């Protein structure tokens, strides 16, 4: 019987592990084996330069995650490189299945993150993070993207947000919208239309990403005429949404309409006592490494408090 099982190994999971281990909860982490298509360590392992994690002028994403992992181990957390398939939170102790094994725990922290949706276009795997990103706030300020023509794929509110953000750095931002209207709200539509640096291209489908060592162009197709053409761009941002990794929960925790775990605002408490959620799996608004880390800490402190007040 475990005190605390932590599912997930991004900044939220590892910060929870560090705090829980220091609180002598002897936590067990399932870091996942390429869970949800992402390596253990989470989304930061798919990035290169990180300039906005406080304390590091600049650090490679995978290096930062490796340091957090070493810190978790150093503090006494145990880490299994397994993906959790299923949980049962209908009663305590909670049950967790990974591989063929069943585990039991008095408390759970779920920190399985969200995965940015990709299009799986030709060229995408080869050029990922070499001019392709799914996070303008994370990557838009990098020198690489400055004063270039950038393309944003998507037509919703977050596509407008990301495009507007990128106009701070880009010479021009092309919003590529599949349909002939923006899905974004009225006020966001106006923001995009009134920004002289944003050009909205309707009925436009990306077809192939071009470039040798980094992105240099994008082959597109007109959804109406089927005519193909090529855009010269220096960067491509996907803003087609995220998929919170909550399917393994099988509907046992309350989720919002987009599939994110609901928590009591300002805490990490889910609707099941003793089950806490931290990081992007419960956050569709901020989604930064440091905000995830913050909620991981909160979850560990809340779990510690829960365990010290519930002896069984």
- 39, 48, 49, 52: which one binds its own copies (CB under 8 A): 52
For 56, 153, 261, 268, 298, the CA distances from 147, given in Å and listed in that order, are: 25, 19, 38, 40, 39
Smallest distance from the beta carbon of 303 to its own copies, in angstroms? 13
Number of C-beta neighbours around residue 259 at 10 A? 16
Q: Dig out the tokens for 86 from the structure.
A: 């299923």
Contact by Cβ (8 Å): 267, 261: no
Contact by Cβ (8 Å): 182, 170: no
Question: Which of residues 71 and 271 has its CB atom nearest to its own copies in the complex?
Answer: 71
- 144, 169, 237, 238: which one binds its own copies (CB under 8 A): 169
Angle at 284 between CA 278 and CA 287, to 5 degrees: 65
**Contact range with its own copies by CB under 8 A, out of 111-119, 121-129, 239-247, 294-302:** 294-302
- 75, 207, 243, 272: which one binds its own copies (CB under 8 A): 75
Active site residues: 135, 138-139
Helices marked H in the chain: 11-22, 61-75, 124-127, 136-139, 157-166, 186-194, 289-309
**Contact range with its own copies by CB under 8 A, out of 1-9, 57-65, 200-208, 219-227:** 57-65
Question: Which of residues 186 and 226 has its CB atom nearest to its own copies in the complex?
Answer: 186
Query: How many residues bind its own copies, per CB under 8 A?
Result: 51
For 92, 165, 195, 298, the CA distances from 311, given in Å and listed in that order, are: 11, 49, 58, 20
- Residue numbers at the binding site for its own copies (CB under 8 A): 11, 14-15, 18-19, 22-24, 51-57, 59, 64, 67-68, 70-71, 74-75, 137, 141, 161, 164-165, 168-169, 187, 191, 264-266, 286, 288, 290-298, 301, 304-305, 308-309
């Amino acid at each position: 019987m475990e005190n605390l099982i932590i599912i997930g190994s991004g900044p939220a999971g590892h910060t929870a592990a560090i705090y829980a281990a220091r609180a002598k909860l002897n936590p067990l982490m399932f870091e996942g084996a390429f869970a949800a298509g992402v390596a253990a360590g989470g989304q930061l392992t798919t990035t290169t330069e990180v300039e906005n994690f406080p304390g590091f002028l600049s650090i490679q994403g995978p290096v930062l995650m490796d340091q957090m992992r070493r810190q978790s181990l150093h503090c006494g957390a145990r880490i299994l490189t397994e993906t959790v398939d299923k949980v049962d939170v209908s009663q305590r102790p909670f049950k967790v299945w990974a591989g063929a094994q069943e585990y039991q725990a008095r408390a759970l922290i779920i920190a399985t993150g969200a995965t940015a949706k990709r299009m799986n276009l030709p060229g995408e795997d080869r050029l990922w993070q070499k001019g392709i990103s799914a996070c303008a706030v994370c990557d838009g300020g990098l020198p690489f993207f400055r004063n270039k023509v950038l393309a944003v794929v998507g037509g919703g509110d977050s596509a407008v947000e990301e495009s507007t953000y990128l106009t701070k750095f880009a010479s021009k931002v092309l919003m590529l919208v599949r349909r002939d209207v923006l899905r974004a709200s009225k006020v966001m539509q106006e923001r995009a239309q009134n920004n002289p640096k944003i050009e909205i291209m309707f009925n436009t489908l990306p077809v192939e990403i071009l470039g040798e060592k980094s992105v240099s162009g994008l082959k597109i197709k007109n959804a109406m005429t089927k005519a193909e053409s090529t855009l010269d761009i220096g960067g491509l941002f996907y803003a087609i949404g995220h998929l919170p990794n909550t399917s393994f929960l099988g509907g046992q925790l309350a989720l919002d309409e987009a599939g994110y775990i609901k928590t009591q605002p300002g805490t990490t408490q889910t609707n099941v006592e003793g089950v806490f959620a931290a990081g992007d799996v419960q956050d569709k608004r901020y989604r930064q490494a440091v905000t995830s880390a913050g909620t991981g800490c909160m979850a560990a402190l809340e779990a510690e408090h829960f365990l010290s007040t519930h002896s069984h």
